[in-house]
Chain A
Amino acid sequence: MSMKPFNAILIRDIKLASRSFGDVLTLVLFFIMIGVIIPFAIGPNKMLLASIAPGIIWMAAFLSSLLAIDRFFRADFEDGSLLAMRHANISLSAIAFAKLIALWVITILPLIIATPILAMMLFMDFEILIRTILSLLAGTPALIAFGGIGAAITVSLKRGGLIAPVLILPISIPILIFGISSIKANAGIGVESAAMLFLIAISLLAMVFAPFAIALALRLDQE
């Protein structure tokens, strides 16, 4: 298998996202807005905010990625690209893998870049910010992989918008647990690095197996 079709999908999806930049920007704004409204809900207690800030950032990233899920395969499904791709010089699971990477770049990467803005509003330490970013980098691939499975299962439903998030929320809980524990500084010696390793393991496993599950789901969608 040559890499040409794989790269073509990756480049096309990123190019498409950069041309409809509004979508990317909306997602980033949503992500920041969550950080803006939570202080209103729990009061302007600096210490409290700073201590729960990593949790807020993870929740914001989590919710934002849920919002983006439905778009994962919908356009390619509806305009027939997905069908035509099935006759290309690339397997459906490799197509799914390329799309997962592209999705991470166009939905998660902008959020991670915007994280310092949220951190500033939540009075976060610089050190905690760095750890939060690292844990997002380690954990979000799994989030995208699970999201991709949910999107592939629901893409043939006309109103699949809310079903995919409901499907993948329960299986995403471990990501959240390990994501948060890899940040907390005073959780105990070695806990955070163990959690980080778990997080990376989940991400790697999810990225390896999700493309096959997605390919299977997409095949069934067409029937």
Chain B
Amino acid sequence: MSKILPSYSLKVKNLQLIRSRRDILSNICLSVKSGEALILRGANGIGKTSLLMALAGYLHIEAGLIGWEKTKQDDDEKTAYEDMHFISHQYAIKENLSLTENLKFWADMNGGSKDDVFMALEKAGLGHGADFEALMLSQGQKKRLSLARLLVSKKPIWLLDEPTSALDSEGDKWVASLIDNHLDDGGLVIAATHLDLPMKKNKRIKTIILGQDK
């Protein structure tokens, strides 16, 4: 569990993104490194999700630079993109599979054991219904299940798109504690959200508000 995570740093310079011939983001500069969290704020439609998708390597970059760098070399040769969890607003859950089967699949994909799956379900508050089909889950529970992927396989970089959407206030606290623990372990978190996350206020949390004059 307390395996030391490889550390990364991210530098974004003058990033410009164009989707569907529309200029959605321009002149974005930011930097964040392991042990820090970056919170992306901004109104709906301002481009938070697009920025996250660009950071995850999905989008064509019109101009500028996204630079992931491994600051401490470790023995495995994973790239930043392989060392990354991206939890989007889509749950990536198969309704015909049980909760355990859903999570076991991601454990096989990303690395992780069966014990990790049970532990993650327990921590997500879904332990009691582990063998039910995911069809039965409410929106909030689905969100919890998709966030449980973070706990099954340890990866240093977390990109979270609206991690608290559909969650109750208990869930908000849970997500905040997940982020806090991940930062304690030396992880890196970038989260897009329009809600205040009840995280421990300290220096390692940076906030960027998109759409304001630079």
Interface residues of A, Cβ cutoff 8 Å to B:
4-5, 7-9, 12, 15-16, 19-20, 75, 78-81, 83-90, 219, 222-223
Contact = CB atoms under 8 A, between A and B. Distances in A.
Given A222-B58, A222-B59, A223-B59, A87 B81 contact: yes
A4 B81 CA distance: 19
Given A84-B149, A87-B84, A223-B59, 13 more contacts: A7-B108, A12-B105, A16-B94, A16-B97, A78-B90, A79-B92, A81-B94, A86-B56, A86-B57, A88-B82, A88-B106, A88-B110, A90-B109
A-B complex: 10 closest residue pairs judged by Cβ atoms = A80-B90, A8-B108, A88-B109, A80-B92, A19-B96, A81-B92, A84-B92, A222-B58, A5-B109, A87-B84
A79 B93 contact: yes
B53 A222 contact: yes
A87 B96 contact: no
Given A8-B109, A223-B60, A87 B97 contact: no
Q: Label chain B's interface by main secondary structure.
A: loop
Interface centre among B19, B86, B90 (most CB of A within 10 A): B90
Contacts of A88: 82, 106, 109-110
A131 B109 CA distance: 40
B110 A87 contact: yes
A13 to B, nearest CB: 10
Interface residues of B, number: 31
B21 to A, nearest CB: 12
A78 B88 CA distance: 12
Interface centre among B58, B85, B94 (most CB of A within 10 A): B94
Interface centre among A9, A83, A219 (most CB of B within 10 A): A83
A90 to B, nearest CB: 7
Nearest to A20: B96
B72 to A, nearest CB: 20
B185 interface: no
Contacts of A84: 86-88, 92, 106, 109, 149
